[in-house]
Amino acid sequence: MSTVTLTINGQEVTVPAGTTVLDAALGAGHFVPTFCHDPAYPGYGGCRICVVEIKGARNLPASCVTAVAPGMVVETDSPAVMEARKTILELMLANHPVDCLTCEKSGDCRLQDYAFRYDVKAPSFGGDKKNYEFDDTNPYISREMNKCILCGKCVRTCQDVEERAVISFAYRGFKTKVAPALDSSLAESACVSCSRCVSVCPVGALGYNSLSGKARVWELDKEQLTCTWCEAGCLFDLVRKDGKVIGVAAKAPGDGRPLCLKGRLGLELRYNDEPLKPMMKKDDEFVEVTWTEALGLDDIMEKLK
Protein backbone atom coordinates (compact mmCIF):
# COMPACT_ATOMS: atom_id res chain seq x y z
CA MET A 1 0.00 0.00 0.00
CA SER A 2 1.50 3.35 -0.99
CA THR A 3 1.47 6.06 1.63
CA VAL A 4 1.66 9.85 1.68
CA THR A 5 3.38 11.97 4.31
CA LEU A 6 2.14 15.50 4.92
CA THR A 7 2.17 18.07 7.71
CA ILE A 8 -1.01 19.02 9.57
CA ASN A 9 -0.81 21.83 12.12
CA GLY A 10 2.95 21.24 12.38
CA GLN A 11 2.55 17.50 12.94
CA GLU A 12 3.99 15.01 10.42
CA VAL A 13 1.28 12.55 9.40
CA THR A 14 1.53 9.46 7.16
CA VAL A 15 -1.67 8.05 5.64
CA PRO A 16 -2.59 5.74 2.74
CA ALA A 17 -2.55 7.47 -0.68
CA GLY A 18 -6.02 8.67 -1.66
CA THR A 19 -7.01 9.60 1.91
CA THR A 20 -8.84 12.91 2.15
CA VAL A 21 -7.31 15.79 4.09
CA LEU A 22 -10.36 15.61 6.38
CA ASP A 23 -9.77 11.96 7.28
CA ALA A 24 -6.03 12.55 7.70
CA ALA A 25 -6.68 15.48 10.05
CA LEU A 26 -9.37 13.68 12.05
CA GLY A 27 -7.22 10.55 12.26
CA ALA A 28 -4.33 12.60 13.66
CA GLY A 29 -6.62 14.05 16.33
CA HIS A 30 -7.28 17.50 14.84
CA PHE A 31 -10.80 18.91 14.98
CA VAL A 32 -12.48 19.80 11.70
CA PRO A 33 -16.21 20.67 11.70
CA THR A 34 -18.57 18.99 9.22
CA PHE A 35 -22.26 19.24 8.37
CA CYS A 36 -22.70 17.39 5.07
CA HIS A 37 -19.89 14.84 5.40
CA ASP A 38 -20.94 11.28 6.15
CA PRO A 39 -18.38 8.44 6.33
CA ALA A 40 -21.01 6.11 4.84
CA TYR A 41 -21.06 8.03 1.52
CA PRO A 42 -18.18 10.54 1.50
CA GLY A 43 -17.12 13.05 -1.14
CA TYR A 44 -20.03 15.53 -1.22
CA GLY A 45 -18.34 18.86 -0.35
CA GLY A 46 -21.57 20.84 -0.13
CA CYS A 47 -21.52 22.81 3.12
CA ARG A 48 -17.82 23.85 3.01
CA ILE A 49 -17.57 24.27 6.79
CA CYS A 50 -14.61 21.81 6.64
CA VAL A 51 -12.36 24.23 4.69
CA VAL A 52 -8.66 24.20 5.57
CA GLU A 53 -5.64 26.23 4.50
CA ILE A 54 -3.13 24.40 2.30
CA LYS A 55 0.21 26.11 1.70
CA GLY A 56 0.47 27.28 -1.92
CA ALA A 57 -3.25 26.76 -2.71
CA ARG A 58 -5.10 29.78 -4.12
CA ASN A 59 -8.24 29.30 -1.99
CA LEU A 60 -9.43 27.36 1.04
CA PRO A 61 -10.43 23.90 -0.22
CA ALA A 62 -13.09 21.72 1.41
CA SER A 63 -11.02 19.07 3.18
CA CYS A 64 -13.63 16.32 2.66
CA VAL A 65 -13.10 16.34 -1.12
CA THR A 66 -9.36 17.11 -1.22
CA ALA A 67 -6.92 14.20 -1.39
CA VAL A 68 -3.64 14.36 0.52
CA ALA A 69 -0.44 14.94 -1.48
CA PRO A 70 3.23 14.34 -0.54
CA GLY A 71 4.71 17.29 1.34
CA MET A 72 1.36 19.05 1.69
CA VAL A 73 1.27 21.57 4.56
CA VAL A 74 -2.19 21.95 6.08
CA GLU A 75 -3.54 24.33 8.72
CA THR A 76 -6.97 23.45 10.08
CA ASP A 77 -7.40 26.48 12.36
CA SER A 78 -5.54 29.38 10.70
CA PRO A 79 -7.07 32.91 10.96
CA ALA A 80 -8.30 32.66 7.33
CA VAL A 81 -9.97 29.31 8.05
CA MET A 82 -11.62 30.63 11.22
CA GLU A 83 -12.92 33.68 9.35
CA ALA A 84 -14.32 31.53 6.52
CA ARG A 85 -16.10 29.20 8.97
CA LYS A 86 -17.61 32.16 10.83
CA THR A 87 -18.95 33.58 7.57
CA ILE A 88 -20.47 30.22 6.57
CA LEU A 89 -22.19 29.96 9.96
CA GLU A 90 -23.44 33.55 9.80
CA LEU A 91 -24.96 32.87 6.38
CA MET A 92 -26.64 29.71 7.67
CA LEU A 93 -28.01 31.52 10.70
CA ALA A 94 -29.24 34.50 8.67
CA ASN A 95 -32.38 32.61 7.65
CA HIS A 96 -32.52 30.13 10.52
CA PRO A 97 -35.22 30.40 13.21
CA VAL A 98 -32.65 30.06 16.07
CA ASP A 99 -35.29 28.95 18.54
CA CYS A 100 -32.86 26.82 20.52
CA LEU A 101 -34.82 27.45 23.74
CA THR A 102 -37.55 25.06 22.68
CA CYS A 103 -35.84 23.08 19.90
CA GLU A 104 -35.74 19.31 20.53
CA LYS A 105 -32.21 19.19 19.09
CA SER A 106 -30.74 21.77 21.44
CA GLY A 107 -27.69 20.22 23.13
CA ASP A 108 -27.07 17.84 20.24
CA CYS A 109 -27.10 20.30 17.32
CA ARG A 110 -24.02 20.90 15.18
CA LEU A 111 -25.15 24.37 14.15
CA GLN A 112 -25.50 25.35 17.80
CA ASP A 113 -22.18 23.68 18.73
CA TYR A 114 -20.24 25.35 15.92
CA ALA A 115 -21.82 28.76 16.56
CA PHE A 116 -20.55 28.44 20.14
CA ARG A 117 -17.14 27.18 19.08
CA TYR A 118 -16.59 29.95 16.50
CA ASP A 119 -18.24 32.66 18.58
CA VAL A 120 -21.05 33.44 16.17
CA LYS A 121 -23.50 35.02 18.60
CA ALA A 122 -26.26 36.30 16.34
CA PRO A 123 -26.84 36.61 12.63
CA SER A 124 -25.01 39.66 11.37
CA PHE A 125 -26.74 39.49 7.95
CA GLY A 126 -30.34 40.59 7.67
CA GLY A 127 -32.53 38.64 5.29
CA ASP A 128 -35.75 36.84 4.58
CA LYS A 129 -36.69 33.98 6.85
CA LYS A 130 -38.19 30.79 5.50
CA ASN A 131 -41.75 30.14 6.51
CA TYR A 132 -42.56 26.52 5.72
CA GLU A 133 -45.36 24.66 7.43
CA PHE A 134 -44.39 22.12 10.08
CA ASP A 135 -44.93 18.67 8.52
CA ASP A 136 -46.26 16.25 11.13
CA THR A 137 -48.33 14.22 8.68
CA ASN A 138 -46.15 11.12 9.07
CA PRO A 139 -47.00 9.24 12.30
CA TYR A 140 -43.34 8.66 13.15
CA ILE A 141 -41.29 11.52 11.72
CA SER A 142 -41.71 15.29 11.85
CA ARG A 143 -40.11 17.76 9.43
CA GLU A 144 -39.40 21.39 10.31
CA MET A 145 -37.83 22.67 7.12
CA ASN A 146 -37.29 26.20 8.47
CA LYS A 147 -34.40 24.65 10.43
CA CYS A 148 -32.93 22.77 7.46
CA ILE A 149 -29.41 23.87 6.53
CA LEU A 150 -29.53 22.02 3.17
CA CYS A 151 -26.63 19.73 3.99
CA GLY A 152 -28.22 17.00 1.85
CA LYS A 153 -27.44 14.13 4.23
CA CYS A 154 -31.07 13.03 4.39
CA VAL A 155 -31.33 13.12 0.59
CA ARG A 156 -28.25 10.95 0.16
CA THR A 157 -29.16 8.50 2.93
CA CYS A 158 -32.65 8.03 1.48
CA GLN A 159 -31.23 7.59 -2.01
CA ASP A 160 -27.96 5.73 -1.42
CA VAL A 161 -28.59 3.76 1.77
CA GLU A 162 -32.33 3.21 1.78
CA GLU A 163 -32.40 3.24 -2.05
CA ARG A 164 -35.82 4.89 -2.11
CA ALA A 165 -35.04 8.50 -3.16
CA VAL A 166 -38.24 9.76 -1.56
CA ILE A 167 -36.83 13.22 -0.87
CA SER A 168 -34.69 15.51 -2.98
CA PHE A 169 -33.77 19.17 -3.47
CA ALA A 170 -36.63 21.22 -4.91
CA TYR A 171 -36.68 24.79 -6.27
CA ARG A 172 -33.61 27.03 -6.59
CA GLY A 173 -31.69 29.79 -4.83
CA PHE A 174 -33.21 31.02 -1.57
CA LYS A 175 -36.27 28.83 -2.19
CA THR A 176 -34.21 25.63 -2.32
CA LYS A 177 -35.83 23.07 -0.08
CA VAL A 178 -35.62 19.35 0.70
CA ALA A 179 -39.00 17.83 -0.16
CA PRO A 180 -40.74 14.72 -1.49
CA ALA A 181 -41.88 14.77 -5.14
CA LEU A 182 -44.21 17.67 -5.99
CA ASP A 183 -43.36 19.22 -2.62
CA SER A 184 -45.98 16.99 -0.98
CA SER A 185 -46.10 16.11 2.69
CA LEU A 186 -44.20 13.05 3.89
CA ALA A 187 -47.48 11.21 4.41
CA GLU A 188 -48.39 11.64 0.74
CA SER A 189 -44.96 10.43 -0.43
CA ALA A 190 -43.50 6.94 -0.88
CA CYS A 191 -41.71 7.26 2.49
CA VAL A 192 -41.55 3.98 4.41
CA SER A 193 -40.80 5.73 7.74
CA CYS A 194 -37.48 3.92 8.17
CA SER A 195 -36.16 7.08 9.93
CA ARG A 196 -32.69 6.79 8.42
CA CYS A 197 -32.95 10.45 7.43
CA VAL A 198 -33.68 11.47 11.04
CA SER A 199 -30.61 9.63 12.27
CA VAL A 200 -28.25 11.69 10.08
CA CYS A 201 -29.76 15.19 10.34
CA PRO A 202 -27.19 17.41 12.10
CA VAL A 203 -29.79 19.97 13.23
CA GLY A 204 -33.39 19.99 14.45
CA ALA A 205 -35.06 19.80 11.02
CA LEU A 206 -36.05 16.13 11.36
CA GLY A 207 -37.29 14.50 14.53
CA TYR A 208 -38.97 11.44 16.05
CA ASN A 209 -42.61 11.97 17.00
CA SER A 210 -42.27 9.33 19.73
CA LEU A 211 -39.65 11.42 21.56
CA SER A 212 -41.14 14.84 20.88
CA GLY A 213 -41.71 16.97 23.96
CA LYS A 214 -40.62 14.24 26.38
CA ALA A 215 -37.16 15.39 27.45
CA ARG A 216 -34.19 17.63 26.76
CA VAL A 217 -31.22 15.92 25.13
CA TRP A 218 -29.09 16.08 28.29
CA GLU A 219 -31.78 14.29 30.31
CA LEU A 220 -31.58 11.20 28.10
CA ASP A 221 -29.64 8.00 28.72
CA LYS A 222 -28.97 5.92 25.64
CA GLU A 223 -28.17 2.23 25.60
CA GLN A 224 -27.00 0.64 22.37
CA LEU A 225 -28.73 -2.61 21.52
CA THR A 226 -28.78 -4.88 18.48
CA CYS A 227 -32.08 -5.62 16.82
CA THR A 228 -32.86 -9.33 16.62
CA TRP A 229 -35.91 -9.17 14.34
CA CYS A 230 -33.86 -10.20 11.30
CA GLU A 231 -30.35 -11.36 10.38
CA ALA A 232 -29.12 -7.81 9.55
CA GLY A 233 -28.61 -7.06 13.26
CA CYS A 234 -29.06 -3.28 13.03
CA LEU A 235 -27.95 -1.12 15.93
CA PHE A 236 -30.32 1.21 17.73
CA ASP A 237 -30.47 3.36 20.85
CA LEU A 238 -32.86 2.53 23.62
CA VAL A 239 -33.68 5.99 25.01
CA ARG A 240 -34.45 6.39 28.72
CA LYS A 241 -35.37 9.33 30.91
CA ASP A 242 -35.24 8.88 34.70
CA GLY A 243 -34.64 5.17 34.13
CA LYS A 244 -37.83 4.77 32.06
CA VAL A 245 -37.77 3.83 28.36
CA ILE A 246 -39.33 6.64 26.32
CA GLY A 247 -38.45 5.55 22.80
CA VAL A 248 -36.08 3.94 20.35
CA ALA A 249 -33.84 5.94 18.02
CA ALA A 250 -31.93 4.75 14.96
CA LYS A 251 -28.13 4.85 15.05
CA ALA A 252 -26.53 7.05 12.43
CA PRO A 253 -24.31 5.43 9.77
CA GLY A 254 -20.78 5.11 11.05
CA ASP A 255 -22.02 3.53 14.26
CA GLY A 256 -23.85 0.81 12.35
CA ARG A 257 -26.77 0.93 9.96
CA PRO A 258 -29.96 2.57 11.20
CA LEU A 259 -33.08 0.53 11.78
CA CYS A 260 -35.96 -0.26 9.49
CA LEU A 261 -39.40 0.74 10.78
CA LYS A 262 -40.26 -2.86 11.69
CA GLY A 263 -37.22 -3.16 13.92
CA ARG A 264 -37.59 0.23 15.56
CA LEU A 265 -41.32 -0.09 16.30
CA GLY A 266 -40.97 -3.72 17.31
CA LEU A 267 -38.31 -2.78 19.81
CA GLU A 268 -40.36 0.18 21.05
CA LEU A 269 -43.15 -2.29 21.81
CA ARG A 270 -40.80 -4.78 23.43
CA TYR A 271 -39.12 -2.27 25.73
CA ASN A 272 -42.11 -0.04 26.42
CA ASP A 273 -42.51 0.60 30.15
CA GLU A 274 -46.12 1.78 29.74
CA PRO A 275 -48.92 -0.82 29.66
CA LEU A 276 -50.06 -1.08 26.01
CA LYS A 277 -53.58 0.03 25.21
CA PRO A 278 -55.12 -1.35 22.02
CA MET A 279 -57.09 1.20 19.96
CA MET A 280 -59.68 0.63 17.25
CA LYS A 281 -61.24 3.06 14.81
CA LYS A 282 -64.98 3.37 15.43
CA ASP A 283 -67.08 6.04 13.70
CA ASP A 284 -63.92 7.69 12.38
CA GLU A 285 -62.36 7.95 15.84
CA PHE A 286 -59.80 5.78 17.59
CA VAL A 287 -61.16 4.42 20.88
CA GLU A 288 -59.57 2.21 23.52
CA VAL A 289 -60.76 -1.41 23.40
CA THR A 290 -59.92 -4.71 25.10
CA TRP A 291 -57.22 -6.95 23.69
CA THR A 292 -59.79 -9.64 22.81
CA GLU A 293 -61.81 -7.12 20.78
CA ALA A 294 -58.68 -5.76 19.07
CA LEU A 295 -57.63 -9.28 18.10
CA GLY A 296 -61.14 -10.22 16.94
CA LEU A 297 -61.44 -12.87 19.64
CA ASP A 298 -64.62 -11.67 21.39
CA ASP A 299 -66.84 -14.21 19.57
CA ILE A 300 -64.52 -17.09 20.41
CA MET A 301 -64.26 -15.98 24.05
CA GLU A 302 -68.06 -15.83 24.23
CA LYS A 303 -68.33 -19.42 22.91
CA LEU A 304 -65.77 -20.64 25.44
CA LYS A 305 -67.83 -19.32 28.35
Interface positions with ligand SF4 (CB under 6 A): 96-100, 103, 105-106, 109, 111-112, 141, 147-154, 157-158, 162, 164, 166-167, 178, 191-197, 200-201, 203-206
The residue (of 61 and 180) whose beta carbon lies closer to ligand SF4 is: 180
The residue (of 99 and 223) whose beta carbon lies closer to ligand SF4 is: 99
How near is the Cβ of 212 to ligand SF4 at its closest, in Å? 13
E-assigned strands of the chain? 3-8, 11-16, 53-54, 73-75, 141-143, 167-170, 177-180, 206-208, 220-226, 235-241, 244-250, 279-282, 285-288
d(CA 198, CA 143): 9
How near is the Cβ of 223 to ligand SF4 at its closest, in Å? 23
d(CA 185, CA 179): 8
Exposed / middle / buried, residue 141 (Cβ in 10 Å: 0-12, 13-18, 19+): buried
How near is the Cβ of 274 to ligand SF4 at its closest, in Å? 24
The residue (of 40 and 289) whose beta carbon lies closer to ligand SF4 is: 40
DSSP 13-78: EEEETT-BHHHHHHHTT-----SS--TTS-----S-TTB-EETT-SS--BGGG-B--TT-EEESS-
Cα–Cα separations (whole angstroms), residue 193 to 75, 86, 162, 276: 42, 35, 11, 22
How near is the Cβ of 222 to ligand SF4 at its closest, in Å? 18
The residue (of 97 and 292) whose beta carbon lies closer to ligand SF4 is: 97
CB 157 within 8 A of CB 42: no
Helix (H, G, I), strand (E, B) or coil at 110: helix
* Helix, strand, coil percentages in the chain from 3-state DSSP, rounded to 5: 30, 20, 50
How near is the Cβ of 98 to ligand SF4 at its closest, in Å? 5
The residue (of 235 and 294) whose beta carbon lies closer to ligand SF4 is: 235
The residue (of 160 and 298) whose beta carbon lies closer to ligand SF4 is: 160
How near is the Cβ of 300 to ligand SF4 at its closest, in Å? 38
Count of CB atoms situated within 10 Å of the CB of 61: 18
The residue (of 26 and 191) whose beta carbon lies closer to ligand SF4 is: 191
d(CA 48, CA 41): 16
CB 48 within 8 A of CB 31: no
d(CA 241, CA 235): 20
The residue (of 96 and 240) whose beta carbon lies closer to ligand SF4 is: 96
How near is the Cβ of 188 to ligand SF4 at its closest, in Å? 12
How near is the Cβ of 193 to ligand SF4 at its closest, in Å? 5
